[in-house]
Amino acid sequence: MDSSHPYLSQRGIDPATAREFGVGFYRGDGLLKGRIVIPIRNERGETVAYAGRALGEASPKYRLPGGFWKGLELFNFHRAVATGSPRVVVVEGYFDCLRVHQAGFPCVVALMGCSLSARQEKMLLDRFERVVLMLDGDAAGRAASRTLSAKLSRGCLVSVIRIPDGAQPDQLRPTTIRRLLQDSSQRRPERPGSTETR
C-alpha cells in the first residue's frame, strides 16, 4: 500500500502517521481496489477488517467487508489504551482520529459513525475515567454529542467540545485541535452524572 499517496496529504495526513496506522492506497484487486485502505483492529491489536475510502466523492464513500459490524469495535482503541491515559478523545471518523493523533493526542478513538453501541460504551467505561466528545459540527454531530454524553456520564466524566458549525475535526488546523483539547483538559472535571461543554 502507498502511504504517501497524494490523497492522504490532501487530507492533512503525514506519511509517518499513515505508515503507523497502516493506511495507504491499494493498487491490488478485490473489493478495495483503487481505494485508501484503513485497517480496523480489535482491542488486542488484531486486524479484523479493512475500510476502503473512495478517492474524491465516488459512491459508496466507504466500503467495508460483509458481515463486519462497526459497533463491535472502536477504531484505534488498542493504541489509545496503550497510552495509559485516563482521558480519551472520541471522534466520528477515521481521518478525524488520524488528525487528532497527529496533533499530539494519541489517546483518541473513532466511533466509525455518530452512534454508540452498548459494546462500545462498555469498552470506554471499562478503560477510561474521562471522555472528551469531539464530534462533527453538523446537526447529526450535535445531536449525537447530547445523546452520547447523557449515556456516558452515568459512568464517567464527560466533556463536549463544540467545534465550528459545519466543520469536522479532520478539517481543523493542528493548532486549533491542540487549543480545544488543551482548554478542555485544564477545565475542572465535572462529577459523573453531569457534562461540560466548551
The pLDDT tens digits for 148-161 are 999 999 999 999 99
Angle 124-155-177 from CA coordinates, rounded to 5°: 55
The mean pLDDT value for 180-197 works out to 60
The mean pLDDT value for 129-154 works out to 96
User: Domains in the chain and their CATH numbers?
Assistant: 6-68 (3.90.980.10), 72-197 (3.40.1360.10)
Cα separation, 96 vs 111, whole angstroms = 10
Q: Which three cell numbers stand for residue 48?
A: 479484523
Q: Look at residue 194 and tell me whether its pLDDT is greater than 80.
A: no
Q: Look at residue 197 and tell me whether its pLDDT is greater than 60.
A: no
Q: Is the Cβ–Cβ distance between 171 and 164 less than 8 Å? A: no
The pLDDT tens digits for 28-86 are 999 999 999 999 999 999 999 999 999 988 889 999 999 999 999 999 999 999 999 99
Q: Look at residue 21 and tell me whether its pLDDT is greater than 50.
A: yes
Q: Look at residue 3 and tell me whether its pLDDT is greater than 90.
A: yes
The pLDDT tens digits for 94-109 are 999 999 999 999 999 9
The mean pLDDT value for 167-175 works out to 96
What is residue 182's predicted lDDT score, i.e. its pLDDT? Answer: 87
How confident is residue 15, by pLDDT bands cut at 50, 70 and 90?
Answer: very high
Q: Which phi and psi angles does 164 have, rounded to 5°?
A: -55, 150
User: Of all residues in the chain, what percent are helix, strand and coil, respectively (each to 5)?
Assistant: 35, 20, 45
What is residue 68's predicted lDDT score, i.e. its pLDDT? Answer: 94
Q: What is the pTM of this model?
A: 0.92
What is residue 183's predicted lDDT score, i.e. its pLDDT? Answer: 77
In one-letter notation, the amino acid at residue 42 is N
Q: Is the Cβ–Cβ distance between 137 and 117 less than 8 Å? A: no
